[in-house]
């Protein structure tokens, strides 16, 4: 009530406009009349304040319930207003506990709580109309539960929506329902498939058709749900003595509570709805979303943050849907680490298929796929999940027969659970040629995924600018065409990762502080830039595109377009990656902003049939 009084006092004088109103010392009848007027005015104001409060509370509840520090002021102010409003209208009855910040909106028509008297009752329309700004009236009014609405048994669990960092884009209705034992909470039941990414491709309601005839043009959302030091160095900014090289080390160091906070903050802010919008605006039509097994579950001894990334994955798919983008799911980190690299979660040793717990972890991965495929077999995913990836980059050293056996088991589980989308298997960094004649006979339901880079191999890295473009247009095209041949190769093939980088100079790219092959600082190798000597320098490679010479920018654009052209001989490509904190040659977004990527992925200046332009005085050593 105190806050109501204060509010009234500050509002009253300007609106009544009677300077003498409080000066009346003795109540004459005129004075009484003017007092009545004042009282009517005050009552009107209180009602106005109440209505305003409710409106603000409802608006806030539709956007964000829990807000970070940046906007917390306005939210708690609005929350106070809404409380005051409910107090004065005699409704309410939901008390906020002292500890947590006040919740602006708190009733849930479905649960045991109360809706306060004067407010309009929530309309449960299931208008599938996605976010049509004109359709505000048809949008259901969202009322979210408060902590006291969450059953004791679910408090603090994944299902407790009041414990989430943000409710933006999430359905806040409490539910413990699962499909394939994976939670549905946070997901809207209504959805619309009418969007199309751009005029070149069909809307989600229509089939894509042949990927051989219309290759996918996509990006990865790398470093988002599966961390990678070079993409977000800020998360790994610790002294070397802390020995933090990967998500395992980071979460172990932070401990469960802090790790959950830090990672959720990252999930909620690194990729937002605007990114999906911008991806579609760039003329791209597919998104590969890497995520790791801890989105599904963790095992004893795991420091990983369990499950929180799951809801961000689901929300990401819905945002992709809103912009007509199709999805390639990518299980990037498997139990035990399938490749010993930092992006599998834990670098060092492979403990999947082989290693002390190899067989157990292979079995766990199959169970993960059982759950995932049951979940994604839902009708709502049929038109949007175009590709289902089984395992990102199993290491080169796996016994190929064991790997094939595991892949076949996984394939069967996923297929039997009702996933009709093409499944995807990695070439396991062996090169596409290694798979000629292996794992064939599955037709379009299995796609071979090669990741094509010229920078992790000294022989390719040391090629000149022009030679790199030739390599893409000739060697990669040959390899892809060979693989796509169902009689003599593998069959459906795609390029799930590639980048514009022409050196390995990016900070932490080769692991935290491991240096670069380009300059010979990577494990004391010799410099691998084209001159192969001390002149090799990384000075320019990490520059902002706006500081690059026009010749270098021209090369980078042609280099990107050459790769796109080459990879479109396959079922399509996915750039690695959409966004980085500080590595422009690994960020499609930064490339667009810097003018070194085509404005529309489907409208390009250069293709492999054209002569390679001269890059003027561009130095081969940067
Ligand atoms: C709802 O509110 C009314 C009046 O404010 C009260 O009488 C009633 O008991 C409340 N119901 C519940 C379920 O809290
Ligand atoms: C889910 O529905 C709510 C309320 O209608 C809306 O605010 C939210 O944006 C939707 N989420 C997504 C991902 O579309
Ligand atoms: C929110 O989730 C609940 C429970 O799953 C569901 O009944 C409801 O329809 C969902 N709301 C929207 C807007 O989809
Ligand atoms: C870390 O990941 C990058 C690719 O993102 C890879 O090139 C590098 O080899 C990895 N380093 C280690 C030590 O795992």
Residue 140 CB–ligand 2 contact under 6 Å = yes
Q: Among 296, 295, 279, which residue's Cα sits nearest to residue 287? A: 279
Cα-to-centroid distance, 93 and ligand 3 (Å): 24
Q: Domain spans of the chain? A: 2-61, 69-192, 216-456+474-501+572-593
Residue 139 CB–ligand 2 contact under 6 Å = yes
Using one digit for the tens of pLDDT, what is the confidence trace for 100-156? 333 333 333 333 333 333 333 333 334 444 444 455 556 667 789 999 999 999 999
Label the pairing between strands 182-183 and 216-220: unpaired
Distance CA 159, CA 137 (A): 29
Q: Can you give the pLDDT at residue 587?
A: 97
Q: Which ligand is nearest to the CA of 113?
A: 1
Backbone angles phi, psi at 479, to 5 degrees: -60, -40
**Chain centre distance of CA 160:** 22
Residue 161 CB–ligand 3 contact under 6 Å = no
Q: Among 269, 202, 216, which residue's Cα sits nearest to residue 424? A: 216
Q: Which ligand is nearest to the CA of 138?
A: 2
The CATH fold of domain 216-456+474-501+572-593: TIM Barrel (3.20.20)
Q: Can you give the pLDDT at residue 3?
A: 36
Residue 168 CB–ligand 2 contact under 6 Å = no
Catalytic residues: 393, 497
Residue 581 CB–ligand 2 contact under 6 Å = no
Q: Can you give the pLDDT at residue 46?
A: 61
Dmax (CA) for the chain in angstroms is: 106
| Cβ atoms of residues 353 and 208 within 8 Å | no
State whether the Cα torsion 232-237-243-244 is positive or negative: negative
Q: Can you give the pLDDT at residue 92?
A: 33
Residue-wise over 313-344: b if at least 16 C-beta within 10 A, else e? bbbbbbbbbbbbbbbbbbbbbbbbbbbbbbbb
Residue 142 CB–ligand 3 contact under 6 Å = no
pTM for the structure as a whole: 0.78
Bridge partners of 178?
183
Distance CA 496, CA 518 (A): 24
DSSP three-state, residue 85: helix
More confident residue, 419 or 3: 419
Using one digit for the tens of pLDDT, what is the confidence trace for 522-538? 887 888 888 888 888 88
Cα-to-centroid distance, 171 and ligand 2 (Å): 6
Considering just the CA atoms, what is the radius of gyration of the chain in Å?
Answer: 29
Residue-wise over 256-271: b if at least 16 C-beta within 10 A, else e? eeebbeebbebbbebb
Using one digit for the tens of pLDDT, what is the confidence trace for 174-233? 999 999 999 999 999 999 999 999 999 999 999 999 999 999 999 999 999 999 999 999
Mean pLDDT of 154-163: 96
Whether 51 has a pLDDT exceeding 70, the answer reads no
Pair of tokens at residue 32: 């009484």
The angle at the Cα of 359, spanning 357 to 362, to the nearest 5 degrees, equals 105
Atom of ligand 2 nearest to the CA of 188: 1
Closest protein CA for atom 8 of ligand 4:
510
Q: Among 61, 100, 106, 57, which residue's Cα sits nearest to residue 77? A: 57
DSSP three-state, residue 493: strand
Q: What is the mean pLDDT of the chain?
A: 84
Q: Can you give the pLDDT at residue 53?
A: 57
Using one digit for the tens of pLDDT, what is the confidence trace for 472-505? 999 999 999 999 999 999 999 999 999 999 999 9
Which residues have CB under 6 Å of ligand 4? Answer: 228, 230, 341-343, 347, 509-511
Whether 328 has a pLDDT exceeding 60, the answer reads yes
Atom of ligand 1 nearest to the CA of 90: 5
State whether the Cα torsion 188-64-143-309 is positive or negative: positive
DSSP three-state, residue 426: strand
């Amino acid at each position: 009530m105190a806050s109501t009084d204060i509010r009234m006092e500050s509002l009253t004088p300007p609106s009544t406009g009677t300077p003498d109103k409080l000066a009346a010392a003795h109540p004459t009848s005129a004075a009484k009349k003017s007092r009545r007027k004042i009282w009517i005015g005050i009552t009107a104001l209180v009602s106005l304040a109440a209505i305003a409060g409710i409106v603000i509370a409802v608006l806030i509840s539709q956007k964000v319930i829990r807000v970070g520090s940046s906007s917390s002021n306005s939210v708690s102010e609005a929350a106070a207003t809404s409380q005051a409003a409910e107090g004065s209208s005699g409704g309410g009855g939901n008390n906020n506990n002292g500890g947590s910040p006040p919740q602006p909106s708190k009733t849930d028509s479905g649960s045991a709580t109360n809706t306060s008297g004067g407010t309009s009752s929530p309309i449960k329309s299931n208008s599938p109309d996605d976010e049509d700004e004109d359709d505000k009236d048809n949008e259901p009014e969202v009322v979210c539960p408060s902590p006291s609405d969450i059953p004791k048994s679910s408090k603090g669990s994944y299902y407790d929506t009041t414990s989430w960092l943000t409710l933006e884009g999430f359905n806040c209705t409490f539910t413990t329902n699962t499909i394939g034992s994976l939670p549905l909470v946070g997901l809207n039941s209504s959805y619309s498939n009418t969007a199309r990414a751009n005029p070149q491709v069909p809307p989600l309601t229509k089939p894509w058709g042949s990927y051989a005839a219309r290759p996918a043009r996509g990006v990865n959302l790398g470093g988002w749900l599966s961390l990678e030091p070079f993409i977000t160095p800020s998360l790994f900014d610790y002294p070397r003595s802390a020995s933090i090289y990967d998500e395992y080390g980071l979460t172990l160091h932070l401990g469960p509570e802090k790790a959950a906070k830090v990672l959720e903050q990252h999930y909620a802010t690194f990729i937002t709805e605007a990114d999906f919008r911008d991806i579609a605006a760039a003329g791209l039509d597919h998104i590969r979303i890497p995520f790791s097994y801890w989105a599904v579950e963790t095992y004893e001894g795991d420091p990983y943050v369990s499950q929180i990334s799951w809801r961000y994955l689901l929300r990401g798919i819905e945002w992709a849907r809103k912009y007509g983008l199709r999805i390639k799911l990518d299980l990037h980190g498997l139990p035990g680490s399938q490749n010993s690299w930092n992006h599998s979660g834990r670098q060092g040793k492979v403990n999947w298929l082989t290693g002390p717990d190899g067989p157990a972890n292979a079995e766990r991965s199959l169970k993960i796929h059982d759950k995932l495929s049951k979940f994604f077999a839902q009708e709502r995913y049929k038109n949007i999940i175009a590709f289902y990836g089984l395992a990102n980059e199993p290491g080169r050293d796996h016994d190929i027969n064991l790997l094939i056996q595991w892949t076949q088991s996984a394939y069967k589980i996923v297929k039997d659970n009702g996933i009709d989308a093409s499944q995807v298997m990695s070439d396991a960094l062996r090169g596409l040629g290694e798979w000629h004649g292996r794992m064939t006979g599955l037709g379009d339901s299995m796609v071979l995924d090669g990741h094509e880079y010229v920078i992790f191999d000294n022989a390719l890295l040391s090629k000149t600018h022009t030679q790199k473009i030739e390599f893409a247009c000739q060697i990669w095209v040959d390899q892809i065409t060979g693989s796509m041949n169902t009689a003599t190769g593998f069959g459906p093939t795609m390029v799930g990762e590639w980048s514009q980088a022409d050196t390995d100079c990016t900070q932490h790219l080769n692991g935290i502080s491991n240096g670069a092959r380009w300059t010979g600082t990577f494990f004391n190798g010799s410099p691998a830039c084209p001159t192969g000597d001390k002149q090799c320098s990384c000075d320019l490679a990490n520059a902002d595109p706006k500081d690059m010479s026009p010749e270098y920018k021209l090369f980078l654009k042609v280099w990107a377009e050459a790769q796109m052209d080459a990879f479109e001989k396959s079922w399509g490509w996915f750039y690695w990656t959409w966004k980085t904190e500080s590595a422009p040659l690994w960020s499609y977004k930064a490339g667009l902003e810097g003018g070194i990527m085509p404005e529309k992925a489907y409208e390009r200046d250069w293709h492999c049939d054209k002569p390679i332009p001269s890059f003027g005085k561009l130095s081969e050593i940067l």
